[in-house]
């Protein structure tokens, strides 16, 4: 089996449980700001948030939405869904959310023990993420995984978002390894898999649902603990 000199991990939805953590954070904001006055229920509020947030993140990745727009506008639009036009409230929600969400610590199944195992095996590991630099550092510190990773490669520093090969080349330079010596582990078929493949990096597709796809990945796993069989 090939020996890799560096492992690149995606963070959101690969190690950090985005769905659970953002639901918990939004629940607190919903109650703090009495949003039940405007919304038919938390689930309707949260579903609307997910739809708006996912769309804006796609725009951010593709360069059609700026970071500031993403941070501020998602709550303006969310409140607008429920007929509320209150820019002050939207900005307070946006700022609170950015502070609060990364403090939640739920991880994907077997993330912690797998990262500890790989660290124990001596693999140098870096995070490669499209998330905001300061947010991703807070998440890693809070969930206790920070010490296992040497670098957090964010699109802001690399000058490009995944799946652009430039962010992977930047990560390779930081790690001091060639493309053939690194392995990218991630959940996103386009950002992580196609991106890494485009940069000549081997891939592990973390794909819990196991639904069919046409990606030419090196390995596919439905559970992170399977990495022990590969590495
Ligand atoms: Mg991800």
- Domain residue extents for the chain: 6-17+107-230, 18-103
CA 105 to centroid of ligand 1, rounded, Å:
16
Helix (H, G, I), strand (E, B) or coil at 29: helix
Q: Do residues 75 and 63 make contact, with C-beta atoms less than 8 angstroms apart?
A: no
What CATH architecture applies to the domain 18-103? Orthogonal Bundle (1.10)
- State the DSSP string of the chain: -PPPSEEEE--BTTTB-HHHHHHHHHHHHHHHTTGGGTSS-HHHHHHHHHHHHHHHHHHHHHTSS-HHHHHHHHHHHHHHHTT---HHHHHHHHHHHHHHGGG---B-TTHHHHHHHHHHTT--EEEEESS-HHHHHHHHHHTT-GGG-S-EEEHHHHTS-TTSHHHHHHHHHHHT--GGGEEEEES-IIIIIIHHHHTT-EEEEE-TT--------SEEESSGGGHHHH-
227: its two tokens: 């990495």
Output the pLDDT for position 1. 66
pLDDT tens for each residue of 36-95: 999 999 999 999 999 999 999 899 888 899 988 888 789 999 999 999 999 999 999 999
Sign of dihedral through CA atoms 37, 41, 44, 50? positive
CA 5 to centroid of ligand 1, rounded, Å:
22
CA 182 to centroid of ligand 1, rounded, Å:
18
CATH 3.40.50.2000 fits 6-17+107-230, yes or no: no
231: its two tokens: 């590495």
CA 1 to centroid of ligand 1, rounded, Å:
26
CA 87 to centroid of ligand 1, rounded, Å:
30
CA 38 to centroid of ligand 1, rounded, Å:
32
> Which pLDDT tens digits describe the chain residue by residue (231 residues)?
679 999 999 999 999 999 999 999 999 999 999 999 999 999 999 999 999 999 998 998 888 999 888 887 899 999 999 999 999 999 999 999 999 999 999 999 999 999 999 999 999 999 999 988 889 999 999 999 999 999 999 988 899 999 999 999 999 999 999 999 999 999 999 999 999 999 999 999 999 999 999 999 999 999 999 999 999
Output the pLDDT for position 70. 86
CA 185 to centroid of ligand 1, rounded, Å:
9
């Amino acid at each position: 089996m090939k020996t890799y000199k560096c492992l690149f991990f995606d963070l959101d939805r690969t190690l950090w449980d985005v769905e659970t953590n953002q639901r918990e954070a939004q629940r607190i904001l919903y109650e703090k700001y009495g949003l039940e006055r405007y919304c038919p229920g938390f689930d309707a509020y949260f579903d609307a948030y997910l739809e708006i947030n996912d769309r804006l993140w796609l725009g951010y990745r593709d360069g059609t939405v700026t970071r500031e727009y993403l941070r501020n506008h998602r709550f303006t639009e969310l409140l607008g869904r429920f007929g509320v036009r209150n820019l002050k409230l939207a900005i307070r929600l946006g700022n609170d959310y950015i502070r609060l969400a990364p403090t939640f610590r739920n991880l994907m199944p077997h993330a912690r023990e797998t990262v500890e195992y790989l660290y124990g095996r001596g693999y140098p590991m870096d995070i490669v993420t499209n998330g905001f630099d300061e947010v991703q550092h807070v998440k890693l510190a809070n969930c206790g995984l920070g010490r296992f990773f040497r670098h957090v490669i964010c699109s802001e520093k690399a000058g490009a978002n995944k799946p652009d090969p430039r962010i992977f080349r930047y990560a390779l330079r930081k790690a001091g390894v060639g493309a053939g010596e690194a392995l990218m582990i991630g959940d996103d078929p386009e950002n992580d898999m196609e991106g890494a493949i485009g940069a000549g990096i081997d891939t592990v597709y973390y794909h819990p649902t196991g639904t069919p796809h046409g990606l030419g990945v090196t390995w596919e796993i439905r559970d992170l603990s399977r990495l022990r069989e590969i590495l």
